Amino acid sequence: MLISREMVLDKDIGLNAALFGGDMMARMDKVAGIAASLMSRNRRFLTVKVSELLFHSPVRAGEIIEFHIAIARQGNTSLTLQIEVQVYEPVSDQRRDVTSGAFVMVAVDETLHPESILWKPEMIQAATEAHRVRRASQTGQS
């Protein structure tokens, strides 16, 4: 499921004329928080774990980045999201993988203790279907 698109600006560029990795991680963490909120009726989530973070290709100023999520695991108080970031080139409609990683988000109450997730089944279904369609288009199947 596409969560957001952003443009990388000159001010975001670090060493090596590319987007700073820590900046990308912060953007992905924000997307994980938004996605967890969209999938549930809980008010607060904390990131407990980030794994398999891979930087596949550098991102340059002026490029549009897309943040796609897939639901990897639904737990009791936690949700694991696979986040894939791609550069989207509108003129050619081409996409390029740039970063991916798994984010474990924990729902917490006002005292920041874990609480059960109140799922929105329709959003889980929509995310699952969007992921299926995206995978099929990547492999050329319908």
Ligand X SMILES: CC(C)(COP(=O)(O)OP(=O)(O)OC[C@H]1O[C@@H](n2cnc3c(N)ncnc32)[C@H](O)[C@@H]1OP(=O)(O)O)[C@@H](O)C(=O)NCCC(=O)NCCS
- Binding residues vs ligand X (CB under 6 A): 46-49, 75-78, 104, 106, 108, 112, 114
Q: Minimum distance from CB of 76 to ligand X (Å)? A: 4
Interstrand relation of 44-55 and 2-7 (parallel, antiparallel or unpaired):
unpaired
Q: Least distance in Å: CB of 34 to ligand X?
A: 13
Own/partner contacts of 10-14, CB < 8 Å, gap of 24 or more, are 10/61, 12/61, 13/60, 13/61
Sequence-distant (6+) residues with CB within 8 A of 49 are: 102, 103, 104
Q: Which residue is nearest to ligand X, using beta carbons?
A: 75
Residue whose CB is less far from ligand X, 44 or 95: 44
Copy the structure tokens of residue 93.
């409609």
Of the two residues 5 and 113, which places its CB atom closer to ligand X in the complex? 113
Give me the least distance between CB of 32 and ligand X, in Å please. 9
Give the 3-state secondary structure of residue 35: helix
Cβ nearer to ligand X, comparing 21 with 114: 114
Q: Shortest gap between Cβ of 27 and ligand X (angstroms)?
A: 14
